[in-house]
Amino acid sequence: MGLFLSISVLLLCFGGVGALCVGRSEALASRLGAVSAVLACLSALVDCSAILSLPWFFRLIICLVGIASALHAPGYLSGQGGRRMGFFWLFFNLTLASMLLVTVCEGFLPFLVCWEVMGLASYALVAFEYHEEKARQASWIYLMSCEAGGILLMLAYAMEMSRMDAPLTEFYLLLAGFGIKAGLPVLHVWLPEAHPEAPAPVSALMSAAMIPLGFYGIIQFMPYLPQVVMHCGWLFLLLGALGAFGGILFALPQNNLKRLLAYSSVENMGIAAMGLGLGMLGECYSMPVVSVCGFCGGLLHLLHHALLKGTLFLGAGSVLKSTGTLKIDSLGGLMKVMPWTGRCFVLAATGICGLPPFCGFAGELLIYVAAFSGIAQAKGVFFGASMLAVLCLALTGGVACAALAKAVGGAFLGEPRSDYARQALPEKSSMVLPQVLLTTLALLLPLAYGVLPCMEWFETVDCGDVIASAFQKNSIFLLVFYGVVGAILLLRRRAGKDDRAVGTWDCGYARPTSRMEYTGSALVQPLADQFGGVLGLERQKKSPQGLFPTSASLVVTDRDLGRRVWWNPLFRGFSALSERIHRFQSGYLHVYMLIMVLALALMLAWAFFA
């Protein structure tokens, strides 16, 4: 572990404990916590002992998001009181420190310890609003999934240690254990529950930086045998496709802004998994182009997702702080009250849909290249897989646009739909700063890809020049685009037309009210018609009747498919089983003794006769 990393972890520890110790003074506690966290992240960023390695890459993600979250938190949490602030910073810093340590540990056992600390500390953060029933429930689900993952990882470790020669089983255990954290489909159950309830900086940190650590774990610790890599590639590709498309389909009907973003995280993790899966398959079928592009695409997508989803979650937090609600149907028109938050949110949403010039596009482009070259070169099953990847990426991109359009449109555009939105407080500059920071990075990053020297690395494979030129064209296009937009903005400012107070564009209606706007449910109605059966969407529609209809309404609600089909029955089964076992916990000492004696006698008999 490098000097700067050690300094960073120490800073985090001292900052957290210090914030807890200062007690009553809220300003002091939050300042201490935030400053220590930001300094620690900067110090870890400076550490370039293993630059361009996999752990370094994940540390980069953690540090960038960590800085933004730490800057956002004091504003978001203001008014909580010094003691609660102290607790928050203690656990926040602990989470950050353990995340950094996770990327440092080389052995599996220390890694597991840090991993568990990370899960437990972040559990405390999710449960920060513990006086609310929903937050308690969400944090409970989070804790359960964390520990379930932890147990699977421990089993994998036990298998490794006992030298059982079953690399496939071990890999499946690792995949399930890390997959829970990474939000792979079916295992993603905690994401849509924990993210909406956690404080916004925490959901930003968890969604942007902690979830990718699941992938880090799998890549770092899976046994590298050809057979296992093959399995891993196929599973990643299929699960990724399922997660990407399914996640974004579920994001669409969500009414809670942060829940929508959480499902979008499932989608993006799916895309990254598809990239990594293609990379592994390319390695197995010895197709270097597919392999390099797949891996780089998956990893880049993780970085982009971190920047963009960080911005989005922080923006959602600002919205909650200023209006008091996250329901998209109760928001609207916030662009006027919180212009900078709105701008960042729109830009980040555009990026996360993977629209061409922006940040999220670059990663997806590489995955597309991988998939297309797979189609061009491969035959048989791999051809089909590449087709599936391309189709899924395209479909996902389309639905993602719809989902994010719903989020942006519902929250920031149009007229305020309720008193929450009408009485929204103006944004705080301290909360805007981290969002602007992340958005700026996200805007500049694709420019840098065109000039980065590490692009030469691609030229070791025969398609390197194709990728490099694609990136260069993208950055040239971006430069022109930014130039034009900047020029227009400058001209407008010169012309002094910036400060006009006008009504929202009304499509020709004389006096638009919020009742004429599309609601969230209305936006997803076509989707609910088509996929309702699969998704388990429930539509409650009241059609207008008669010549002068008095009222009509449409409500679309969803229930998570993975939870409904898989987790609820599983947990019900577990609980039935525990009920049955519970009979043994009679409370009678005699019965306990009897059970123990019987068990001992059986073990003795077994040892004696076997």
Partner 1 sequence: MTSFAEILLAVLLLTDLSLLVSSRLLHCIRLVALQGVVIGVFPLTVWNWSQGTPSPQVFLIAVLSLFAKAILLPKMLRRSMYKAKVRRELEPLVGYSKSLVIFLAVTAVAFCFCGKYLVLPEETPVLCAPVAIITIFSGLFVIIARKKALTQAIGFLVFENGITAFGMGMMLEYGIVVELGILLDVFVLVFVMGISIFNINRAFSNIDVDEMHLLNDDDAHQGGEK
Applying CB under 8 A, which part among 57-65, 104-112, 293-301, 587-595 lies near partner 1?
Answer: 587-595
Picking from 269, 262, 358, the residue whose alpha carbon sits closest to that of residue 316 is 262
Touching partner 1, residues 455-494 (CB under 8 A): none
- Residues in CB range of 79: below 8 A, 6 or more apart: 26
Pick the closer one to partner 1 by CB: 484 or 591: 591
Q: List the one residue from 589, 606, 607, 610 that touches partner 1 (CB under 8 A).
A: 589
Say whether residue 163 binds partner 1 (CB under 8 A). Answer: no
1 class by beta-carbon count within 10 Å (0-12 exposed, 13-18 middle, 19+ buried): middle
Residue 23's alpha-carbon distances to 33, 73, 78, 89, in angstroms, are 12, 18, 15, 12
Phi, psi of 584 (to 5 degrees): -70, -25
Locate tokens 């540090």: which residue? 63
Helix H or strand E encompassing 101 = helix 82-102
Pick the closer one to partner 1 by CB: 501 or 581: 581
Pick the closer one to partner 1 by CB: 502 or 610: 610
Locate tokens 């919020």: which residue? 514
Min dist CB 569 to partner 1, Å, is: 25
How many C-beta atoms surround the C-beta of residue 594 within 10 A? 11
Per-residue three-class SS string for 226-256: HHHHHHHHHHHHHHHHHHHHHHHHHHCCCCE
500 class by beta-carbon count within 10 Å (0-12 exposed, 13-18 middle, 19+ buried): exposed
Min dist CB 123 to partner 1, Å, is: 23
Q: Which two tokens stand for residue 28?
A: 């002091």
Are 192 and 251 within 8 A, CB to CB? no
Q: Which two tokens stand for residue 260?
A: 């929508």
Q: List the one residue from 429, 572, 586, 599 that touches partner 1 (CB under 8 A).
A: 586
Beta bridge partners of 554: 541
Give dist(CA 350, CA 508) in Å, integer.
Answer: 27
Pick the closer one to partner 1 by CB: 53 or 578: 578
Q: How far is CA 297 from the centre of its chain?
A: 17
Min dist CB 588 to partner 1, Å, is: 5
Q: Which two tokens stand for residue 144?
A: 């359960």
Pick the closer one to partner 1 by CB: 553 or 586: 586
Say whether residue 585 binds partner 1 (CB under 8 A). Answer: yes
Touching partner 1, residues 591-610 (CB under 8 A): 593-594, 597, 608
Min dist CB 587 to partner 1, Å, is: 3
Pick the closer one to partner 1 by CB: 502 or 589: 589
Give dist(CA 531, CA 262) in Å, integer.
Answer: 20
Site string for partner 1, 533-572 (x = CB under 8 A): ----------------------------------------
Pick the closer one to partner 1 by CB: 507 or 589: 589
Say whether residue 588 binds partner 1 (CB under 8 A). Answer: yes
Min dist CB 572 to partner 1, Å, is: 20
Pick the closer one to partner 1 by CB: 224 or 592: 592
What's the angle, vertex CA 453, arms to CA 452 and CA 457, rounded to 5? 115
Helix H or strand E encompassing 538 = strand 538-542
Pick the closer one to partner 1 by CB: 492 or 582: 582
Pick the closer one to partner 1 by CB: 109 or 576: 576
Min dist CB 47 to partner 1, Å, is: 49
Q: List the one residue from 79, 380, 546, 587 that touches partner 1 (CB under 8 A).
A: 587
Touching partner 1, residues 174-193 (CB under 8 A): none
Applying CB under 8 A, which part among 205-213, 359-367, 403-411, 590-598 lies near partner 1?
Answer: 590-598
Q: How far is CA 335 from the centre of its chain?
A: 25
Q: List the one residue from 582, 599, 602, 603 that touches partner 1 (CB under 8 A).
A: 582
Touching partner 1, residues 374-403 (CB under 8 A): none
Task: Using CB under 8 A, count the residues that bind partner 1.
Answer: 11
Residues of 40-63 as b/e, b for ≥16 C-beta within 10 angstroms? bbbbbbebeeeeeeebbbbbbbbb
Applying CB under 8 A, which part among 32-40, 277-285, 442-450, 578-586 lies near partner 1?
Answer: 578-586
Applying CB under 8 A, which part among 100-108, 135-143, 267-275, 583-591 lies near partner 1?
Answer: 583-591
Touching partner 1, residues 423-442 (CB under 8 A): none
Pick the closer one to partner 1 by CB: 589 or 610: 589
**Residue ranges that bind partner 1, judged by CB under 8 A:** 582, 585-590, 593-594, 597, 608
